[in-house]
Amino acid sequence: MDMVPVVVRSASHVSAYRYLDHRHGTSPRFQVRAKLPFEQQDAKYYQHLEAAVHVVQRACRLCLHVKSSLFSTDANVHQKNDQTPVTVADFGVQALISFELNKLFPSIPLVAEEDSAYLRSRNLAGSVLDAITAIDSPTSKPLTQDDVLEAIDRGGKDAFLFGSEPATYWVLDPIDGTRGFVKAGKALYVVGLALVVEGEIVAGVMGCPNWQEDFSKKSPTELEEVADMLSPSGTIMIAHIGCGTWTKRLNSMPKLPSVWTRCFVDGSNLVQKAHFCIPDSQTWESLPLSSSFNATNNVDDVGDNQVLLLAACCGSLCKYLMVASGRASVFILRAKEKTIIKAWDHAVGMICVHEAGGKITDWSGSEIDLAADQAGRRVIFPFGGVLVTNGCLHHQILEIISHSTTSSL
């Protein structure tokens, strides 16, 4: 990789570094040492994003704490009524983030995945409280089990009734990819938090505690130089409307100072050269692109009529993270009958991809309407499915989808 560093200065005299990355031609990488990588006067929701970053980092520490004890006992893993797994960490993260946001922004409601009914029915509030207090206490006074239950329900389905008017609220997925979280392997999971103002997503944070840097294109010499980074370091990705998408290491080391790096989607402009990811519950053959291309997981042997399908378990937000960071070119999801698509599985990913230069629509090319569920803002209804791309490929893939759909009628 041939990168030329250029030192620049921001208005607040925070050191910044710009790297001209010749692999991407005109897309430079920026690195900044600061709380947030842009000036407060340039970001209307700076304080909201700063608070969100802080609490998501704490939530990631809670996840790591719970995960470390997950395999010593199965008491931390449970099944919800829809047969999806849920852990003490899911509830702990929602309670922790709810506490903090309500303290700082009490007038902004929270739309989140969990409610306390399951905890109450199984008397598990104490376990969640223990998980929260094991990392730190979000308030000045000792928390109680009632505090935990109340905080969780602040984001529950009955907590707030919206209407047809554009609304302002937080959207939280406490752990997207719980199936991955409960696995002993390297399956990814994400804490995702977004701020919606008057119907528009304006800021967001994703924390992925077990994300690992992509070293596949580095030479042996370069790998020696970054040997300390070969273990999963985790990542925090942020986006603010008009300010771009940025990442930094979640778990910093003394030799590796924590810096913000500007993210851009990849530059692929040919479908057959793109890197795809799809939901874990869907197959390539179930998607309309399969009528034009076969898929392979073998990065070293992609045929003329094949595309590369990246393995990425679990959840949707890690796929958005991959597209926004340039590791994947496309994430495509089919809207299946009787399957509800939740807003928290997409909201923060949408702004991260958009600010990195990508595009998100449904399969008809229409923007995703977060207000379609007028009462709760909890469900989205994308026609056909969700298409997330680097932007260059979007129209081409929409045309393939349209042609495939027309041919099958």
**What are the C-alpha distances in Å from 409 to residues 39, 159, 335, 404, 405?**
53, 43, 18, 9, 7
**What are the C-alpha distances in Å from 29 to residues 25, 269, 296?**
11, 20, 30
Contacts of 335 (CB under 8 A, 6+ apart): 341, 362, 363, 381, 382, 383, 384, 385, 386
d(CA 248, CA 250): 6
Catalytic residue selected from 178, 235, 361, 389: 178
Catalytic annotation present for 361 = no
The answer on whether 175 is annotated among ligand-binding residues is yes
In this structure, the number of other CB atoms found within 10 A of the CB of residue 153 comes to 22
The answer on whether 345 is annotated among ligand-binding residues is yes
Catalytic annotation present for 283 = no
The answer on whether 300 is annotated among ligand-binding residues is no
Please, are residues 171 and 93 in contact by the beta-carbon 8 Å criterion? no
The answer on whether 176 is annotated among ligand-binding residues is yes
d(CA 351, CA 333): 17
Q: Helix H segments across 136-207? A: 145-153, 178-181
The answer on whether 201 is annotated among ligand-binding residues is no
Residues in the chain: 409
Catalytic residue selected from 87, 90, 147, 261: 90
Q: Which residues are catalytic?
A: 90, 178
Binding residues for Mg(2+): 113, 173, 175-176, 345
